Amino acid sequence: MKPGIYFRITWALAVHTWREGMRKKTLLGFLLLSILVIFGSNVVATVMPEMPGATTVASDMGTNLIKDICITAISIFGALITVYVSATVLPSEIENRVVYTTLTKPISRFQYLLGKFLGAQLLIIMNLVLMGLLFFVALYFREGVPPTLLIWSVLLTYFEFLIVSALTFAVSATASSSVLPIIAGLFIYLTGQLTEYLRGVVERASIAETFADRLVGTIAQGLYYILPNLQSFSIRTDVVYGSVNDPLIIDYLPNLLSYGLLYALAGFFLAYGAYRYKEV
Amino acid sequence: MKHMSGIAIAAAVLVLIGLGSVQGARLDHLRDSEEFYRWVQGATMQYSFDGSLIDAETLARYGEQPLDNEFFEQVIAVGEATLPELDGPVDPNAPIYAQRRLVRIVQGGANDAILWDWAKGPETAELRAQFAALNRDDLLVSAGTEYSVADMYAQGTAPSLGNVIFGFRQLAANLLWLEADEDFHVGKIHRIMPMMHTIVATDPSFIEAYQVGAWHYAYNLTAKMPDTPEELKVWSDRYGDWVGAKEQRYYEGEALLKQGIRNNPRNSHLYFDLGYAIIMEKQNDPERAVPYLREATRYQHERYMPRTLARAYEQAGRYEEAITEWQAYMDNVDPDSEVAQRFIRYAEAMIHEAQANELEDQLKSLEDLLEDDPLGPMLDQAEELQEEIDMHREEAQRIWGGIIAEHGDDGRAYAQILRNRARALHSEGRSYEAVGLLDHARWNVSTRLFQELSDTMTDIKLEEGMRLTLSEMAQLIRNERNQAAREAREGTGEPPMAQTDELLESEFEEITEPEAVELDASS
């Protein structure tokens, strides 16, 4: 098959998956909830009293509150949407038997999976863009200048979700219903956020004297290096709150993007490995 | 892809995870470097003001001896050896600590990229490792807890999923802020203060909490407290100064803002509030306020900040620098600023007034000598001095008069003219007229110069043996007592009374009883 046709078919699958996802009420529910929270943050910030003394331009408590609530809302609802989309995109095809008609066509499993994965990413990106746009508009109307740093923040959040999505997708490739992948996806997200804790364990074990402690330290170190550390993406908060001259972002961005991409590829290949011999 | 074997897939997964781990290690390095970088930035700013990192107040709060100062000395030393020398001259009059390469790079924020390269580079690898170890063992009290998630566990609190995952710390800080606001409006300031400390511990980037907390300390808590007479002040190890209950509140506000500066070294509002609201307005020390106000103007700042810096220069008697600062304000911000033009004229006049005052002091010393030898060689010198004094006074009068001509009714200029006229009357022996003129000037022309005019009036009265009013006598007695107390303190050598901080604490508790606190919302 020519590469052009190969990718056109894959893209058609991705677009189909995206359209299919858009019809799901659960997904729309998540999106509406997140939009409500972001909108609500503006209302809260408007009615919030200003402490006397904090009268300077920078002392805009309302803006801080909007930022807090919106970042939190994007994190929570974005994670839920990511897990839900990535966990259901394959099993739902089995449940409604669409997969049988699709795979009987001249489409390789790799191509099928790639199309499905890309479709899931389109859904996640679309949701993130919608939430980010609302956040952007809210901040723009409040501060009067476009909060361009927010774009970086949303981009980093997406790469964090990309890892969760790919690993959840790998689990869903082994499952025939979406319950297990959803639970696994949430677990992956929580684990990814708590990987940082392993670093503390390693540090403490390094000053311990007993063999058992050192063993625990070694295991923790191994896990720390293997498991993706989603806390690394917490720089997104610094991006929003950071000062104008902060030079760190230039170093962080490429490293974080490639980090997300590598784990996402690993997750996708795991999914392919699992789905390759799956009987459908 | 169809023929990709299981082994090849497994190998691809392993390679990708391996590469991801390598990238993860690189990110860890960046994050460790960032922690170190941010600490160095905050610590250096603190150090740049008085040559020390951790003040007595912070040290006193911790039982175990923190190693911040010792470690920072190492950082400075490595910085001297490995940081690039910046272009531009080093101010030879600046204290030695302000001439350090690290300080010069950190100040102003324009060279943050150089600092970041240095903080993540191989030359600081050992320092970074040491920093991580000291931080882990809680031996760096200036590092705060805000830089990494791992530090949340180091506090000994149970890890909260909510905190870890969704960053609710800032949200919690905001909710506490709302609570504090409610308490403020019902006058429960005693409840607000611990809340402010909790807010900044929860969210160290909460600038308003530092600002408003310091404002409560320095203004609202002290609104109805009289200044402590010098003889009643006690030595505080914590603040390294002689303080009463009122002055202690100023230092507490100062400490809160300094904590804010350590955590947010690129925020102009914290420097400004410390320099202006606390040091200049409350502690009446414009000289000490200048470095903070100058730093505030180096970052993104409001228009009033450079103006306040110029005022601080003027109040500190640094008139030439005040003129330069006002000129820069006109060049960069508002070329037609009437205020700037007027203050430049004030400063020009004050240069002459200051020179005349200085010469008058010299003349007084000469006159003492002339009493013994009225026709000696000192006579010519005294006459020359008198001529110079007259010349400066005349020049000052000309400028003050010019200000009134240019800008219309100007209380300050008019009061200065009257003051000089009173001086002239006094030298002509018309002292009662001089006193009358000064009395009129202080009450009806410029209440801002009330104290200075009153002092001149008292000096004339004392010189001429005129009768003092009760308030003048009381002021004199207060001044004498304060002076005696200061001299007695200087004679005691080592500051005594380690228990005085406890004494101050008990005074604080009495003062912060809710009934005793009255708000000064206008401040």
Q: Which of B288, B314, B341 is the last residue of a domain?
A: B288
Q: Which value does ipTM take for this structure?
A: 0.84
Same domain as B377, residue B449: no
Q: Which one of A76, A110, A225 has the shortest CB-CB distance to B166? A: A76
> Please, are residues A78 and A37 in contact by the beta-carbon 8 Å criterion?
no
Question: Which residues of chain A are within 8 Å of residue B112 when distances are taken between CB atoms?
Answer: 245-247
Contact A266 B13 (CB under 8 A): yes
Q: Find how far residue B329's CA is from the centre of its chain.
A: 21
The first and second tokens of residue B303, run together, are 């228009």
Checking phi first, is residue A144 left (phi over 0); if not, alpha (psi -120 to 50) or beta? Answer: left
Write the DSSP symbol of residue B515: G
CB atoms within 10 A of CB B95: 13
Phi, psi angles (nearest 5°) of residue A151 = -60, -45
d(CA B75, CA B103): 11
Which residues in chain B have their CB less than 8 angstroms from residue A271's CB?
Answer: none
User: Domain residues for B112?
Assistant: 27-147
Nearest to B24 among A57, A193, A259 (CB): A259
Q: Is B6 inside any structural domain?
A: no
The total number of structural domains in chain B stands at 4
| Same domain assignment for residues B403 and B415 | no
Domain with residue B274: its CATH number is 1.25.40.10
Residue of A48, A76, A272 with shortest CB distance to B178 = A48
- Tell me the three state secondary structure of residue B236: strand
Helix (H, G, I), strand (E, B) or coil at B243: strand
Mutate to test the interface with A, among B39, B149, B185, B220 (most CBs of A within 10 A): B149
**Which DSSP symbol is given to B241?**
E
Q: B288, B320, B349 — which closes off a domain?
A: B288
Q: What is the pLDDT along chain B (523 residues), one digit of tens a residue?
A: 555 688 899 999 999 999 999 999 999 999 889 889 988 988 898 888 878 777 665 666 666 677 888 899 999 999 999 998 888 777 777 788 888 899 999 888 788 889 999 999 999 999 999 998 888 777 887 765 444 444 433 333 334 444 444 456 666 777 788 888 888 888 787 788 888 888 888 778 888 889 999 999 999 888 888 888 888 888 877 777 788 889 999 999 998 999 899 888 888 999 999 999 999 999 999 999 999 999 999 888 889 999 999 999 999 999 999 999 999 999 988 999 989 999 999 999 999 999 999 998 888 888 777 777 766 677 788 888 889 999 999 999 999 999 998 877 888 999 999 999 998 899 889 999 999 999 999 998 888 889 989 999 999 999 899 999 998 998 888 888 888 888 887 765 544 444 444 544 444 444 344 333 333 433 3
B280 with B174, same domain: the answer is yes
Which of A110, A153, A246 is the mutation pick for testing B, counting most B CBs within 10 A? A246
Structure tokens at B133: 């170890």
| Same domain for B414 and B403 | no
Q: Is residue B507 part of a domain?
A: no
- Are the CB atoms for A229 and A193 separated by under 8 Å? no
Which pLDDT belongs to residue B233?
A: 85
Residues B321 and B397 in one domain: yes
Residue A230: name the closest of A198, A183, A271, A205 by CA.
Answer: A198
Q: Indicate yes or no: CB of A108 within 8 angstroms of CB of B168.
A: no
CA distance A184 to B141: 40
Sign of the CA dihedral with B154 first, then B160, B163, and B168 last: negative
B116 and A57 in contact by Cβ < 8 A?
Answer: no
Same domain, B273 and B196: yes
> What is the spatial distance between Cα A266 and Cα B6, in angstroms, rounded to a whole number?
14
What Cα–Cα distance (Å) separates residue B51 from each residue in B43, B138, B280? 11, 23, 20
The separation between the first and the last C-alpha atoms of chain B, rounded to the nearest angstrom, is 74
- Using CA atoms, how far residue A94 sits from A102, A172, A270, A278, B512, in Å, is 11, 11, 19, 12, 70
Which site among A243, A250, A270, A278 would you substitute to test the B interface, given the most B Cβ atoms closer than 10 Å to its Cβ?
A243
Does A69 contact B109 at a Cβ distance shorter than 8 Å? Answer: no
Q: Are residues B275 and B317 in the same domain?
A: no
Q: Rounded to whole angstroms, how far apart are CA atoms B405 and B422? A: 21
Chain A residue with CA closest to B204: the answer is: A241
The verdict on a CB contact (< 8 Å) between B112 and A246 is yes
The letter for the amino acid at A81 is I
Residue B94 lies in a domain: yes
Looking at the domain assignment, is residue B482 inside a domain?
yes
B468 DSSP 8-state letter = P
A255:B27 CB<8 A: yes
In a domain, B21, yes or no: no
Q: Which two tokens stand for residue B127?
A: 């320092």
What is d(CA B422, CA B457) in angstroms, rounded to the nearest whole number?
Answer: 9
* Tokens (6 digits) for B269: 């509002």
- pLDDT-derived band at A37 (thresholds 50, 70, 90) equals confident
Distance of CA B515 to the CA centre of its chain: 31
Record: contact A68-B171, CB cut-off 8 A: yes
Our CA-based measurement puts residue A225 at a distance from the nearest CA of chain B, in whole angstroms, of 5
Spatial separation of the C-alpha atoms in residues B286 and B306, rounded to whole Å? 14
Do B211 and B232 lie in a common domain? yes
d(CA B439, CA B457): 8
Nearest residue to A91 via CA among A174, A23, A165, A185: A174
In a domain, B129, yes or no: yes
